[in-house]
Amino acid sequence: MTHDRPALLAPGTDAVPIRAVTSADWAEVEAGLAPLQRAFAKASGFAPKAGRTALLPDADGTLARVLLGLGDRQAPAHDRFLPGKLPAALPGGAYRLEPAEGLDPAEAALAWLLGSYRFERYRKPGEPRPRLVAPEGIDAASVERIAAAVASGRDLVNTPANDLGPAEIEAAIRSLAERFGAAVSVTVGDALREGFPLVYAVGAASPRAPRLIDLTWGDEGAPRVTLVGKGVVFDTGGLDIKPSAGMLLMKKDMGGAAAAIAAAEMIMGEGLPVRLRLIVPSVENAVAGEAFRPGDVIRARSGLTVEIGNTDAEGRLILADALALADADAPDLLIDFATLTGAARVALGPDLPAYFTEDEGLAARVAEAGARVNDPVWRLPLHAPYASGLESKVADLNNVSGGPFAGAITAALFLRRFAPRTTAHVHFDLYGWNPSTKPGRPEGGEVQTARLAHALVARLVAGGA
């Protein structure tokens, strides 16, 4: 894994100033520039459009100032993480953000650190990154903790399956537990047959033993928050095998586990007063003689029998056993994270994870948290009549619906069957990947909804909810 985490420089460090400008204040900022810099900005064609930059020299040619265009902050498509573009646009060195109207210094610093991320495990390290001086008045340690947790989660998603199996997922969680004094129990291989039969069935064909990893942390009397993450380290589709194009990004099928692990790291790092539980079922959905088959009927941990309509709908199966385990503990808040359906991507695209919950108050809080920390989501309905598509003639339910419609909704309805006691339950159906680089979001693995979950839990415990 990559361990070189970008950090903020101490306030007062000598650094090149960065001025963020909008269309509204550009004339005033331009007039205040030194004549040489004003002429250079004009000659280079700088305009305060979103994401535009200009590197302005002093009289001897030394970099003296940077301009960053913010465009129109009121525009619907305005990206609050625009400062996260700068680490890839600037030469190495120290920089500081000048105060600017509408620019949140803590958010800008976080965007910078998120945009500084590189995955260099398999290649020669690049040039030194530019460094940002911590803006005055922010909680720099908190910003750095969040950025480090995101980076660790991105590392997990970016690591190919030949180097990241269920054992490596377990090792990552054990490392986290050691850092924060948490307890971990793990059920591996044949030991899953009785307690977690769906996890066992999905992982049985792989030479790398499947497992259920269970971490607990915090005061037993505190509000109980349980995070569950789908940890499919690679998904061939099983006997319903995917075409080759469908497998190219399947190393990211453990993106839900990475998001849950990152959120847990943020919660423990901040010392939030909760009883945290992190449950990750981790498997490889492989093809071999031990593979589960279409038409198999498996009795889940909850006691429900599940007919296998498609072996490529394996994520919901391992989550079913994990959710049953979580539900038995009756948590005050249950969040599951999964790269679950292509249907959610078709509906909302790669940047906007879907979320599902029956709790209207919780739904509003999720939306508010996502908007507040720039980790956006969109609610889809748990439309109960669609559950009829999961009916089976030989079992309690099928793992897939009988038609091509509403795949994300029917998957969410399937999961709800396995956590009936917990009403405060949020299911995130996420993509776990940035198809292209955007400010603060480099191309590659992404732990979507992790920062949202951390912000949600922090606000809930602060408000006594």
Place of tokens 């992790």: 450
Query: Taking the CB of residue 384, how many other CB atoms lie within 10 A of it?
Result: 11
Question: Residue 5's pLDDT band (boundaries 50, 70, 90)?
Answer: confident
In 3D space, the residue among 259, 256, 258, 260 whose CA is nearest the CA of residue 276 turns out to be 260
Place of tokens 């971490």: 215
Question: Residue 11's pLDDT band (boundaries 50, 70, 90)?
Answer: very high
pLDDT digits (tens, 9 = 90+) for 335-358: 999 999 999 999 999 999 999 999
Q: Note whether 43 and 153 are within 8 A (CB).
A: no
pLDDT digits (tens, 9 = 90+) for 107-127: 999 999 999 999 999 999 988
Query: Cα separation of 319 and 282, whole Å?
Result: 10
The strands making up 53-57's β-sheet, listed across from edge to edge, are: 53-57, 63-71, 16-22, 93-97, 130-132
pLDDT at residue 216 in the model: 98
Q: Note whether 135 and 97 are within 8 A (CB).
A: yes
Query: Cα separation of 362 and 423, whole Å?
Result: 10
Task: Return the structure tokens found at 378.
Answer: 């969109």
Q: Note whether 91 and 130 are within 8 A (CB).
A: yes
pLDDT at residue 403 in the model: 87
pLDDT at residue 377 in the model: 98
User: b/e string for 22-56 if b means 16 or more Cβ within 10 A?
Assistant: bbebbeebbeebeeebeebbeeeebebebebbbbb
Q: Where are the beta strands (DSSP E) in 23-157?
A: 53-57, 63-71, 93-97, 130-132
Which residues, other chains included, contact 267 with Cβ-Cβ below 8 Å and sequence gap of 6+?
225, 274, 276, 454, 457, 458
316 is annotated as an active-site residue = yes
- From 65, 316, 345, 417, active-site residue: 316
Query: Cα separation of 146 and 267, whole Å?
Result: 9
Task: Return the structure tokens found at 366.
Answer: 């999720």
The domains found in the chain, sorted by start residue, are 16-138 (3.40.220.10), 144-462 (3.40.630.10)
Query: What string of H, E and C letters represents the secondary structure of 256-295?
Result: HHHHHHHHHHHHHHHCCCCEEEEEEEEEEECCCCCCCCCC
pLDDT at residue 464 in the model: 72
pLDDT at residue 315 in the model: 98
pLDDT digits (tens, 9 = 90+) for 191-237: 999 999 999 999 999 999 999 999 999 999 999 999 999 999 999 99
Mean pLDDT along residues 171-183: 98
For 441, which DSSP code?
A: B
Mean pLDDT along residues 250-266: 98
pLDDT digits (tens, 9 = 90+) for 420-432: 999 999 999 999 9
pTM of the predicted model as reported, rounded to 2 decimal places:
0.97
DSSP assignment of 345-357, as one string? HHHH-TTS-EEE-
Mean pLDDT along residues 401-421: 96
Q: Note whether 311 and 292 are within 8 A (CB).
A: yes
Residue 378 pLDDT exceeds 80: yes
Question: Residue 2's pLDDT band (boundaries 50, 70, 90)?
Answer: very low
Computed over every residue of the chain, the mean pLDDT equals: 96
Mean pLDDT along residues 394-410: 96
Question: Residue 87's pLDDT band (boundaries 50, 70, 90)?
Answer: very high
User: What percentage of the chain has pLDDT greater than the value 70?
Assistant: 99
Place of tokens 């109960």: 384
Residue 1 pLDDT exceeds 60: no
Residue 4 pLDDT exceeds 80: no
Residue 27 pLDDT exceeds 50: yes
**Coil, helix or strand at residue 205:** coil
Mean pLDDT along residues 150-155: 98
- What stretch of H or E contains 406? none
Q: Note whether 336 and 415 are within 8 A (CB).
A: yes
